[in-house]
DNA sequence: AACCCAGTGATTGACGCCGC
DNA sequence: GCGGCGTCAATCACTGGGTT
């Protein structure tokens, strides 16, 4: 089986000089040139901001952009000196999961899907947006709509991928709202694990204990958890399958 | 009706300024 | 010296108004 999910133009490699001002990162390319790349990750990127680390960036020719470069991946070194590339672009994570759904890789868990809508408003005040709203095919015995929230997961401890890596009020709200749409609709949380060096997924209790409590509440209430794992390469992504939940690891 | 473009909200860490 | 508050940063998706 070909486990390639997405192919793209080969990324450009360099080393991280620093990340600053929330959206900006300075990167030294292999040819010595220093460029400023947009950092599309909203979190603190725990364990990933090592100065001098190898990084990969993409180029956009859009005239509307101030910065042509986007930071996509960073290389980290494990305890046994093994190297792993980690995807850090949270927008890319959404695209990745959308492709996984379109390729029908979640069929065993969700059944056949008729339509996929992105960024649909929902929730108490209609101020939240669900990443994906799926409508099942008529033939699907469970005809409930499916709310899917995607979480780009980059932090790991031991062999467990952890989300979140910081206190996240927004993430807490998402869990409450996912719980709120049940049982009329199905709720699904999809941690998009953008590194291959993990065996499990777990809530980042240490970073956000309230999130951990809400996570358990929602699971108990019937929220489906589908942690998807990927390996990142210079010009493509491969599918590494589902990872089981491990609590109190 | 279809398309285009300008404007805007959402995102959160860093930093500057103010007052004490 | 320090805490709190406000602002800024770049991108994308969406919105609404205008034009073809």
Strand B closer than 7 Å to the CB of A103?
no
Residue nearest to nucleotide C13 (CA to C1'): A119
Is the Cβ atom of A67 within 7 Å of strand C at any atom?
yes
Q: Which residues constitute the domain of residue A78?
A: 8-87
Q: What is the CATH number of the domain that holds A49?
A: 2.40.50.580
Protein-proximal positions, strand C, CB < 7 A:
8-14
* C1' (C11) to CA (A131) span, angstroms: 17
- A56 and A13, same structural domain? yes
Q: List strand B contacts in A 124-143 (CB < 7 A).
A: 127
Q: Which residues pair with A142 in a beta bridge?
A: none
In a shared domain, residues A71 and A101 = no
Q: Give yes or no: residues A82 and A115 share one domain.
A: no
Indicate whether A149 belongs to any domain: yes
* pTM for the model: 0.87
Residues A120 and A237 both lie in one domain: yes
My answer on whether A82 and A101 are in the same domain is: no
The residues of A between 28 and 87 with beta carbon within 7 Å of nucleic strand B are 42-44
**Residue that terminates a domain, selected from A87, A119, A150:** A87
Domain final residue pick, A72, A87, A102:
A87
For residue A249, tell me if it sits in a domain.
no
Q: Tens-of-pLDDT digits for all 249 residues of chain A?
A: 568 888 888 888 888 887 877 788 888 888 888 888 888 887 777 778 777 888 888 887 776 777 888 888 888 887 788 889 998 888 788 888 888 888 888 889 988 888 777 766 655 445 556 778 888 888 888 888 888 888 888 888 888 998 888 777 778 888 888 888 888 888 899 988 999 999 999 998 888 888 888 899 999 999 999 999 999 998 889 999 999 999 875
Whether A205 and A233 share a structural domain: yes
Tell me whether residue A83 is in a domain: yes
Provide the domain count of chain A.
Answer: 2
Q: A231-244 b/e with 16+ CB inside 10 Å = b?
A: bbbeeebebbebbe
Backbone angles phi, psi at A210, to 5 degrees: -65, -40
Asked which of A45, A63, A87 is the last residue of a domain, the reply is A87
* Same domain for A199 and A162: yes
Nucleotides of B under 7 A from a protein CB: 10-15
User: Is residue A129 located within the same domain as residue A83?
Assistant: no
Are A80 and A125 within one domain?
Answer: no
Considering the domain architecture, whether residues A97 and A34 belong to the same structural domain is answered as: no
Residue A125 φ then ψ, to 5°: -105, 10
Q: Do residues A128 and A79 both lie within one domain?
A: no
Residue A100 and residue A72 share a domain:
no
Question: Per the domain annotation, does A37 fall within a domain?
Answer: yes
Burial of A249 by CB count in 10 Å (0-12 exposed, 13-18 middle, 19+ buried)?
A: middle
């Amino acid at each position: 089986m070909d486990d390639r999910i997405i192919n793209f133009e080969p990324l450009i490699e360099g080393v991280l000089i620093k990340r600053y001002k929330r959206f900006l990162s300075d990167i030294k390319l292999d040819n010595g040139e220093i460029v400023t790349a947009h950092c599309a990750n909203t979190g603190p990127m725990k364990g990933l901001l090592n100065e001098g680390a190898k990084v990969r960036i993409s180029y956009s020719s859009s005239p509307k952009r101030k910065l042509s470069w986007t930071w996509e991946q960073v290389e980290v070194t494990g305890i046994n000196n093994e190297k792993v590339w980690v995807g850090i672009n949270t927008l890319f994570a959404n695209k990745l999961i959308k492709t996984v759904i379109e390729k029908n890789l979640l069929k065993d868990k969700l059944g056949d899907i008729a339509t996929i809508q992105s960024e649909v408003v929902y929730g108490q005040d209609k101020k939240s947006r669900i990443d994906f709203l799926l409508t099942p095919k008529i033939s699907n015995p469970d005809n409930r709509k499916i709310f899917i929230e995607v979480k780009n997961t980059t932090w790991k401890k031991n062999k467990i991928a952890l989300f979140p890596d910081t206190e996240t009020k927004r993430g807490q709200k998402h869990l409450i709202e996912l719980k709120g749409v049940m049982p009329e609709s199905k709720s699904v949380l999809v941690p998009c694990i953008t590194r291959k060096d993990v065996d499990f997924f777990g809530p980042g209790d240490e970073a956000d204990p309230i999130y951990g409590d809400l996570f358990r509440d929602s699971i108990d209430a019937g929220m489906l958890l589908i942690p998807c794992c990927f390996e990142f390469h210079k010009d493509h992504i491969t599918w590494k399958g589902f990872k089981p939940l491990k609590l109190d690891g």
